Amino acid sequence: MTKEHASPATETSHFIQKNSVAIRIWHWLTFLTILSLFITVLMASTALNPRKNIAEVQNALKEKGVIVSNEQAWAVSHMYDDKMWDFHKILGFALTFLFLSRFVIEATQPKKEKVNFRFRNALAAFRQPGQDKKELKHYLLVKGSYFAFYLLLLAMVGTGLVIAFGSDLGLSGPVRHSVKEAHGFFQYGFYTFFAVHLIGVVVAELGKAKGVISGMINGGK
């Protein structure tokens, strides 16, 4: 096996590295898709929350001289919420496609730009004496967080597909309910990743890894 260790003497920061066009397009499409998914969840649980809109539907109809029960008002209020969840489902399919395409991109990346190569390379450098352990440890932690993200993505996409096709697959109500609970729970992992990742790249940009954000736009040096 060839050992091509990135040396701190030749690089400003291990984080300053090349990002292929495919990775950049994938990154920003994934960002947009996940952000849109966040928005659908936010809208469905606030402005379009059917329970919260029952009274509004009843009042609007009352003004037109029609009195409806809670159940009748619910039939209207949940229609709009359902539309938002349909949109959420479409975005979920887009995310599934992006998840699968990440494997294709990885397989076609130049060797030096493969996640696996970069991780092993940093690990090997970390084990060598005389290296900047602190920076390498940080680098390994960040790359490790991407592995964790891909696992989370697998869990989210997997549970989402089970919710979408559960009844067609003949899964029982309780099973589908548990999967739905898990799907809802995993969202917190995404919020955490998003916050930590965003703060991380901004701090890196303002600190030792100047150019790391533009590197995800223009490809880096």
Non-local CB neighbours of 12 within 8 Å, separated by 6+ positions: 208, 209, 210
Spatial distance between the Cα atoms of 190 and 184, rounded to a whole number of angstroms? 11
- Min dist CB 109 to ligand HEM, Å, is 9
- Give the 3-state DSSP-derived string for 78-111, with helices as H, strands as E and coil as C: HHHHHHHHHHHHHHHHHHHHHHHHHHHHHHHCCH
- Min dist CB 203 to ligand HEM, Å, is 11
- Min dist CB 146 to ligand HEM, Å, is 4
Looking at 13, 15, 58, 98, which residue binds ligand HEM (CB under 6 A)? 15
Contact indicator for 18, 221 with CB cutoff of 8 Å: yes
Beta-carbon neighbour count of residue 190 at 10 Å?
Answer: 17
Closer residue to ligand HEM (CB): 27 or 89: 27
- Min dist CB 102 to ligand HEM, Å, is 7
The vertex-203 CA angle with 209 and 4, nearest 5°, equals 30
Spatial distance between the Cα atoms of 176 and 163, rounded to a whole number of angstroms? 6
What angle do the packed helices 173-206 and 133-165 form, to 10 degrees? 150
- Min dist CB 43 to ligand HEM, Å, is 17
Binding positions for ligand HEM, 189-218, rule CB under 6 A: 194, 197-198, 201, 212-213, 216
Between the CA of residue 204 and those of 5, 14, 120, 148, 195, what are the distances in Å? 21, 11, 22, 20, 14
Q: Per rule CB under 6 A, is residue 35 in the interface with ligand HEM? A: yes
- Min dist CB 159 to ligand HEM, Å, is 17
Looking at 7, 31, 151, 203, which residue binds ligand HEM (CB under 6 A)? 31
Binding positions for ligand HEM, 126-185, rule CB under 6 A: 142, 146, 149
Q: Per rule CB under 6 A, is residue 22 in the interface with ligand HEM? A: no
* Per-residue mark of binding to ligand HEM, 110-129 (x: CB under 6 A): -----x--------------
Looking at 27, 78, 176, 210, which residue binds ligand HEM (CB under 6 A)? 27
Spatial distance between the Cα atoms of 184 and 18, rounded to a whole number of angstroms? 35
- Min dist CB 174 to ligand HEM, Å, is 31
Residues that bind ligand HEM (CB under 6 A): 15, 23, 27, 30-31, 34-35, 115, 142, 146, 149, 194, 197-198, 201, 212-213, 216
